[in-house]
Amino acid sequence: MIKITDTHAHYDDEAFDADRYELLDRLFAESCEKIVSLGCDIEKSRFEIALAEKYENLYAAVGVHPENCNDVNGDYLAELKQLAAHPKVCAIGEIGLDYHWEGFDRERQIRFFREQLELAAELDLPVCIHSRDCTGDMMNILREYKPNGVMHCFSGSVETAEEILSFGMMISFTGMLTFKNSKKAVEACRIIPIERIMLETDCPYMSPIPHRGERNDSGNLIFTAQKLAEIKGMTPEETVKICNANAERFFRFNRA
């Protein structure tokens, strides 16, 4: 099996504190072509850059996640712009909207999302977008900006997928694609051209079957690749090769 590119991970997460570097050493040796590890606030974005400096094939994305925007003070955009100038930063993310938890600030989330979309456009960087329980606002903003972006951890409908594709965006799938109750995501996956799909773990979250409920890592991406291959009527090797090429084209890893 050829090595796989994981386009969305969180190796800053405390779930990896005990064995982060040993794990990454093994992953790059055995199963991973490249990894994109995303920050969810300024501090975590700095950590991801430091991690990317340590590993040749690990890249960072920098951004403020919607769940963290209430904790941001000062000129965060200036800080993000400075971080994004690092040659190992390949995207702005993880950014977006999340109305799942009680007490969310809708207007603040929308402002932060818009500001970071505009920063990404200014810097000519793609964006990695998080969307949960916010379809109306999310689609309205995407219709306006039509960003060079990827909708990460997609679990939406065929109709939503078709509109996202009409903006020229990419769509990525996690281990959720392997879940028995993910029929909507599977149906959407069927209609998405393979050239518009990327593979991701969202680790340490979203472990695929047969590891659901365990800590996830990039080594489990093979299970999502196998499910994608089944849906598309292809071999796992074919799907991985295409999805890796999609990631190279989208993130422009070697643009520096």
Reported pTM:
0.97
* The token pair that represents 196 in the structure block: 């518009």
Instruction: From 254, 91, 84, 76, select the one nearest 170 (Cα to Cα).
Output: 91
Residue 255 confidence class, pLDDT cut points 50, 70, 90: low
- β-pairing, 32-38 vs 58-62, is parallel
Determine contact, residues 12/36, Cβ cutoff 8 Å: no
Summarised one tens digit per residue, pLDDT across range 141-194 is: 999 999 999 999 999 999 999 999 999 999 999 999 999 999 999 999 999 999
| Cis previous bond, 30, omega within 30 | no
- Residues whose CB is less than 8 angstroms from the CB of residue 147 and which lie 6 or more positions away in sequence, other chains included: 117, 120, 121, 126, 127, 129, 167, 169
Q: What are phi and psi of 6, to 5 degrees?
A: -95, 110
* The token pair that represents 204 in the structure block: 């340490």
Helices (H) and strands (E) in the chain, counts: 9, 8
**Domains in the chain, ordered, with CATH?**
4-251 (3.20.20.140)
Summarised one tens digit per residue, pLDDT across range 113-139 is: 999 999 999 999 999 999 999 999 999
